[in-house]
Amino acid sequence: MKQVVLISTGGTIASVSDHAGGPVNAALAGERLLDSLHQKPDGIAVRVEDFPARGSYALDLATIHALCARITETLADAAVAGVVVTHGTDTMEESAFLADLLVRSDKPVIFTGAQRHAGVADTDGPRNLGDAITCAASDALTGVGPVILFEGELHAARDVTKVHASRVDTFRSPGFGKLGDVDEGRVHIGRRPGARVTLSTPTLDPDVEIIAPGLGTTPRLLDHCGASGVSGVVIAGFGRGNAPMGFADAAKRLIDKGIPVIVATRCAEGRTMAVYGKDSGATTLVEAGCLLAGELSPYKARLLLAALLGQGATREEIAAAFARFA
């Protein structure tokens, strides 16, 4: 019999309301989640561990760094086939991506949760959890890296994003598509994920900020970052990685201080590329010293930079890591 470890971190799947119409909070332990299954997968033994239970909007980098270390430690046990992490959907894609960067094992790591809390009759948590346990015990997911399992679909951590605030089919991989699915207890894999980077870092630098400019936004926030002690900045740029007027000069002022500036695209599909010039097109930003995030979203680019800075990476090492996603 295969053994799977369920690590419960809270989130909607573990949340209930204190009273009718009241706020919803994470309150259920992992054993309660396991008891909620309508049908437990055959031939799989599940061991439960509870991690700090809270909504994923309230998690921080130090907590997820510790979670990734715990996943690695758990998977080092030869008796464990895989790990399931129940997690809130708000930042699940970010935690899954950090696990993709930091967990040093080829065994399956499955993140799942719910959009409808445990106190409602049609909660989607039990089905997702049952499917995730099946996937964590599947040899088909060996070497794929951490994934998100939702509504029967499997999505790669580097590609997936939450696309709807409340619907149960919220997770998609724009431009890439799902890795596969689980159907009546059988796991089907249709593709493998793209480039991955695995890091070993003692800490995640919490002082990397994201700036998301809009039409005509001034670069004053970049200057504020330079004056307030940030370690790095990610710009959620337009299109191929362009920004409003003045951003290239402001970014150069940061870079001259030794603060790396990464330019991602705010678009759901496609990648950054130095095509446009003039004031703060991507070409001008690169000439100023910015690095392009390629296919990574601004949020995942921030996490990669936080991990690289946490291990003391040089500018050349940072550039090489982001080049993997070009």
> Which tokens go with 15?
């949340």
Q: Is 217 annotated as a binding residue?
A: no
Whether 142 is a known active-site residue: answer no
**Helix then strand then coil, % of the chain, to nearest 5:** 30, 20, 50
> Tell me, what amino acid is at 139?
D
> Tell me, what amino acid is at 318?
I
> Which tokens go with 30?
């992992």
| Residue 281 contacts residue 242 (beta carbons within 8 Å) | yes
Which of 9, 86, 89, 201 is catalytic? The answer is 89
Whether 161 is a known active-site residue: answer no
DSSP letter string, 192-230: ----------S---S-EEEE---TT--THHHHHHHHHT-
* CA atoms within a 13 Å half-sphere pointing along the CA-CB vector of 207: 12
Q: Is 200 annotated as a binding residue?
A: no
The residue whose two tokens read 């099946």 is 134
Which of 12, 112, 170, 201 is catalytic? The answer is 12
CA distance 258 to 253: 9
CA distance 148 to 236: 24
Q: Is 89 annotated as a binding residue?
A: yes
| Strands 186-189 vs 232-237: parallel, antiparallel or unpaired | unpaired
Please report, in range form, the residues annotated as the binding site for substrate. Answer: 56, 89-90
Annotated binding site: 56, 89-90
Residues recognised as catalytic: 12, 89
